Structure 1
């Protein structure tokens, strides 16, 4: 009976802690998102183990007291108390604090859709000084980039923010991704924004990030010189195909580059280049 109750307790704790992740993964539009379900038990395992340690120590403590073995009962009681303290610390750090941090960020995000451009500019300017909120402040920029009316100057300011996290893939178990169901990085969202200008695209294309460079390569606003530079970077690069996939779907990619890519051994690159060549003739 003790072990059955422990099993039920583990299911309850695991289900409660993984529920936000289950919802977040279910809302993702990434083709490989379902793989995330496989790793959920591993992520929640430390919390379940700590809770079960508290449970078993408390049970053993009470049983030892019942049979008169007070010293052993006290020992298990002390262990149970220690595990309670550590469990509280761990659950606060890994779950409670991120949850409340997300609520703080959500409060900042809420009015963004109604902000005028003066307020938007102020928010972008003071972004580096905002509390990091457990690395969740990045979702403020994510929310800003949902606005199709951001102008080229605002987009350029976002692209040049000195924060490494603007280049990181996004994930939120607390629903902060909004429409960005693929979890694209802020830098990629800038590169894909309809109002981004050529100078910002050239700047982003210089970053050594193949996924970002692929988005830049696929944008018809990217200058020919930058497209040529990106093509050169794609050569002898194990992730170069990501850049080339962008190039072959850009009608402004120089014909000479498209012709070379039409000879690629990668079938997606080859087919994309052939189709684009037909459309530009």
Structure 2
């Protein structure tokens, strides 16, 4: 069924091509057809370009929607072209009676509305690109911030939040904002220009200039996605981490706590007792996870968890020796890549049956011999 649905835009295009002669005889349809073709091709090219610049590992799935993007863009552009024809021939339409007048009103209304919203989005994208390319000038970025804030333009606000030159005072003001739009995932086609759809305040937390007070301010965010970043932040104090562990039990917050080396050991122990697969992997890779927990995870049935333990620089020689004999190649490979692996373990792995394990173990031994 999904395959058949994906063919619908192609079928629509074929129907238009089959009836092209009939359509072309009518002037309004000619305007719509030309505009639709240009809009469909232009929209598809733009969409594919935006998919290419996405950071997500699943971004390639977006290519599957290209036919639908073409259909939507072509349909919208065709309606716009028809509306433009009606606007150009207003006098003729108004003389034609009630029905032509009604068609004119609907077509011109769509033309004006679509032009307005497209222009608004184009302005937003142009401002976003201008901000991302702006120099690290505090005054320029402050002006951009105030203008975007007045328009509630979250795409541009995200650009300001991510800019390496944004002053800490502006970042803190963003973090303290109670505007729900600042904490919500950004949506809409314009978000594709930003490489991600992170909430504005999440961009704040990722900015190296963000002051520690921003983490404290965002600890009260209503969004679990934001709280994930707070829980994983190096600036999160023990009080903040304990408060999050007490107040919120969502999976995202648990993952953030499990990732953070500053999370108190008793919280990590509590997470280990009732952990899902993702939390387990985060705990296994956390250098701050207590060794008894790592030993337990190193003996778990999950190869992914054991591999994460093997990569953890905080494991001791006894645990390394045990993991060096693991039946899974990926676990032994992770151990060979561990910069903290002992010489004895690396020498054992250098004789491993897996060529990749042997190669990386040999590299590790060479590093240890190099003064």
Task: Tell me if both proteins adopt one fold, taking TM over 0.5 as the criterion.
Answer: yes
Is the contact between residue 148 and residue 194 of structure 1 (CA under 8 Å) also seen in structure 2? yes
Report deviation, 1:151.
5.1
Report deviation, 1:248.
1.2
Matches within 5 A, 1:24-63: 24-33=50-59, 34-35=61-62, 38=65, 40=69, 44=73, 47=76, 50=79
Higher deviation after alignment, 143-152 or 45-54: 45-54
Select 2:115's aligned residue among 82, 89, 92: 92
2:271 is equivalent to residue 245 of structure 1:
no
Could you say what the CA RMSD is over the residues aligned between the two structures, in angstroms?
A: 3.9
Residues 73-120 of structure 1, C-alpha deviations (whole Å, 9 max, x = no match): 76775455334412312321332332245435655x2774231x4x26
Partner of 2:146: 127
Matches within 5 A, 1:3-152: 3=23, 9=34, 10-17=36-43, 19-33=45-59, 34-35=61-62, 38=65, 40=69, 44=73, 47=76, 50=79, 77-78=100-101, 80-103=103-126, 106=129, 109=131, 112-115=134-137, 117=138, 119=139, 122-123=142-143, 127=146, 131-132=150-151, 135-136=152-153, 138-150=154-166, 152=168
Is the contact between residue 149 and residue 157 of structure 2 (CA under 8 Å) also seen in structure 1? no
Q: Distance in 2 between matches of 1:175 and 1:273?
A: 32
Q: Distance in 2 between matches of 1:75 and 1:225?
A: 70
Report deviation, 1:262.
1.9
Q: Distance in 1 between matches of 2:148 and 2:164?
A: 25
Q: Distance in 1 between matches of 2:105 and 2:50?
A: 33
Bigger relative contact order, structure 1 or 2 (CA pairs below 8 A, ≥6 apart)? 1
Partner of 1:163: 179
Partner of 2:272: 262
Q: Distance in 1 between matches of 2:264 and 2:172?
A: 25
Q: Distance in 1 between matches of 2:141 and 2:49?
A: 33
Higher deviation after alignment, 258-267 or 20-29: 20-29
Higher deviation after alignment, 251-260 or 271-280: 271-280
Query: What SS does the aligned partner of 1:207 have?
Result: coil
- Relative to structure 1, the CA distance from residue 218 to residue 16 in structure 2 (aligned partners, 3 Å threshold; closer, same or farther) is same
Q: Distance in 1 between matches of 2:44 and 2:192?
A: 17
Is the contact between residue 255 and residue 279 of structure 2 (CA under 8 Å) also seen in structure 1? yes
Q: Distance in 1 between matches of 2:207 and 2:83?
A: 51
Is the contact between residue 192 and residue 216 of structure 1 (CA under 8 Å) also seen in structure 2? no
Rg: which structure is higher?
2
Select 1:205's aligned residue among 206, 213, 219: 219
Select 1:186's aligned residue among 200, 214, 234: 200
Residues 117-142 of structure 1, C-alpha deviations (whole Å, 9 max, x = no match): 4x268538x7178641xx43x34433
2:25 is equivalent to residue 2 of structure 1:
no
Is the contact between residue 24 and residue 174 of structure 1 (CA under 8 Å) also seen in structure 2? no
2:240 is equivalent to residue 226 of structure 1:
yes
Q: Distance in 2 between matches of 1:193 and 1:101?
A: 22
Unaligned runs of 5+ in 2: 1-20, 87-95, 295-312, 316-371
Aligned residues: 254
Report deviation, 1:3.
4.8
Is the contact between residue 175 and residue 218 of structure 2 (CA under 8 Å) also seen in structure 1? yes
